[in-house]
Structure 1
C-alpha cells in the first residue's frame, strides 16, 4: 500500500511549483526541504525532456558546480546567473524584512542567532527569493523584526533586481506584492485553517474569502519524490532522507 502524503512532501512539491521556470536554483547549507524541492523540479523537467534545471547546493559534492563555495555563489548571483534562492529568519515581518541576528535591541540582544552572512546581498540580486520557514508561530512572524538583516523592499531609486517572491510555511503559502508591499495568503495546507494561520501570524495579510487548499502531489510526482529525489538528497542530507524514508515506511504500514 502507498503511504499517505506527508506535510513535508506537500512543502517539497509546493517549492517545486514555485521554482518552475527557473534555470538555476541555488540552495544554502542546512536546507533539506528547499533542496528536495529544487531536485524534484529538476527530476520533473527531465521526465518531460524539458530544459535542464541546474541545482547548486552549498555543502554538496555531487550537486554543486561551485569550486570556491559561497564566494562563487555571490559572484554568480551578482552576474544574474541565479534565478532562485531561499532565505529564512528567526523573525520575518509583513513587508518581507528578515532577522537573522537576534531578539531584542541590538547589540544587546537577549537571543543571538548565527548572523546575516550574505542574506542582504542575495535578497537584492536574486529575482526569485522564496522565504521558507517550517515553523509558523507568532514568535517567527512578527509585526516588525527587531533587526533587519535583509530588507524586503527598498526606497524608490534604489537599484534592486531581487526580492521576496513567496513565503512558504508549515501552515500555508503566501505570495508577495512588492507594490503594496505585503503578503497575500494563497492557499492553506491540508489540516490547517485560515483562523489558525491568523492566530499564528503577527502581521496582517490579504486573502480571498474562499481560500484554496494547497494541492497534494499526484502519483507520478510522489513516485519521483520518494525514489530519485530522496536518493539524490541522501548525498548531502543523509539523516533527513533516512527520516523521510522511515516516515513513508511507517505510513505505508499503518495504511
Structure 2
C-alpha cells in the first residue's frame, strides 16, 4: 500500500478514536499505533482532554510494567476505551479467527493464536477491527474458528464489542442488533465493485458510497513530523519506510 493511502488509514483511525481517554495497542500494530499517536497530538493541539496511550512493546508510550497482565486488569476495570483487533479471517458477524484456516484442529494454515482477544472483545467498549489486506481469503462468509465472537446472546454481560472495521479499501460500521456491517466510505483508488468482489460476506451500502477524505494539510504536517518521530521509537523500520513513501508521494 502506498504512503498516501496509509496516511488515510492513520488519519481515519485518529477520527475513530475521537473522544477516548485511554487507547491500548497490541504488539506489531504500527498503523493503529500511529493513529493513536495522531489522536493524542490532535487533542493536545486543540487543548482538549489528554489521551493516554498504552502501546505494548514501547518504552516511551506505555505505562505498564507487567505487559499483558496489566492490560487485561485495566480493561476489566473499564479503564481502556479503545483497542484494535485483526484476524486471519473476519466474517460478516464480526467474528474473528486468529488460530488458523481449515478444519480445526487439523488446520491447513496456523496463526499465532487467540491470546486475550475474546476477553478484550467483551470488555473494551470501542474495538476497532483493522486489517490492511482486503481480500476474500481474509473476509470470509464464516470464519473456520471463532477466536472471539462479534456479538453475544441476550443476557450476556458485554459492554464491549466491534465499533468499526477499517481495511485497505474502505471503512465499515457494525450494527450489533442486525449483526451486520455497512460500508461507510470507500478509500481513494477503490470503488464499490472492487470492495464487493474482495469481500466474502454481504454488507449494506449506499448506491454511491462516500469517499474516505484525504487528511488536510495540518494533519499531514503533524503526521509527517511528530507522529513519525514518536512511532520510530517502537517501529523504526516501519516509520522509516513510511516516511520514505510519504516523501515520494508528496514530491
With the shorter chain as reference, the TM-score category is over 0.9
State how far apart, in whole Å, the 2-side matches of 1:250 and 1:75 are: 43
CA shift digits 1:106-137 (9 cap, x unpaired): 11001100000000000000000000000000
Contact 1:5–1:216 (8 Å) recurs in 2: no
Contact 2:95–2:149 (8 Å) recurs in 1: yes
2:210 is paired with a residue whose SS is: strand
Unaligned stretches of 5+ in structure 2?
Answer: none
State how far apart, in whole Å, the 1-side matches of 2:248 and 2:172 are: 31
Query: How far off its partner does 1:250 sit?
Result: 2.2
**Number of equivalenced pairs:** 250
Counterpart for residue 228 of structure 2: 230
Of 108, 114, 118 in structure 2, the residue corresponding to residue 120 of structure 1 is 118
Residue 241 and residue 203 in structure 1: after superposition, are their counterparts in 2 closer, same or farther (change >3 A)? same
Of 152, 155, 161 in structure 2, the residue corresponding to residue 154 of structure 1 is 152
Give the alignment of 1:58-97 within 5 angstroms: 58-97=56-95
Of 46, 49, 52 in structure 1, the residue corresponding to residue 50 of structure 2 is 52
Unaligned stretches of 5+ in structure 1?
Answer: none
Q: TM-score, structure 2 length as denominator?
A: 0.98
State how far apart, in whole Å, the 1-side matches of 2:247 and 2:38 are: 20
Counterpart for residue 105 of structure 1: 103
1:167 is paired with a residue whose SS is: strand
Give the alignment of 1:145-184 within 5 angstroms: 145-184=143-182
Contact 2:3–2:245 (8 Å) recurs in 1: no
Of 180, 186, 189 in structure 2, the residue corresponding to residue 188 of structure 1 is 186
State how far apart, in whole Å, the 2-side matches of 1:251 and 1:27 are: 27
CA shift digits 1:208-249 (9 cap, x unpaired): 112110001111000000000000000000001000111122
Cα RMSD for the two superposed structures? 1.0
- The answer on 1:6 being equivalent to 2:4 is yes
Of 207, 210, 223 in structure 2, the residue corresponding to residue 209 of structure 1 is 207
Q: TM-score, structure 1 length as denominator?
A: 0.97
Contact 2:76–2:123 (8 Å) recurs in 1: yes
Counterpart for residue 249 of structure 2: 251
2:241 is paired with a residue whose SS is: helix
Counterpart for residue 16 of structure 1: 14
